[in-house]
Amino acid sequence: MLEDREETINIVRKLAEQFDFDKSYIDDEIKKLAKFVTVLELTLEHICGKTVNES
């Protein structure tokens, strides 16, 4: 879980900007709802996969 609230707000803002261009609306919603947001930080330790032979 990402503990840094400032980083969490930055991530939420970047995500919201992809769906709505109204900055004031985004800022108002973040102010109201940021305390309810949890961001999970995933660290991949190992990735494996097979090569696909497409014909």
User: pLDDT digit of tens for each residue in the chain (55 aa)?
Assistant: 888 999 999 999 999 999 988 999 999 999 999 999 999 989 888 888 777 777 6
Q: What angle do CA 18, 23, 26 make, to 5 degrees?
A: 70
Q: What is the pLDDT of residue 5?
A: 92
**Which spans in 1-55 are helix H?**
5-17, 23-33
Q: What is the pTM of this model?
A: 0.69
> How many angstroms separate the CA atoms of 15 and 37, rounded?
13
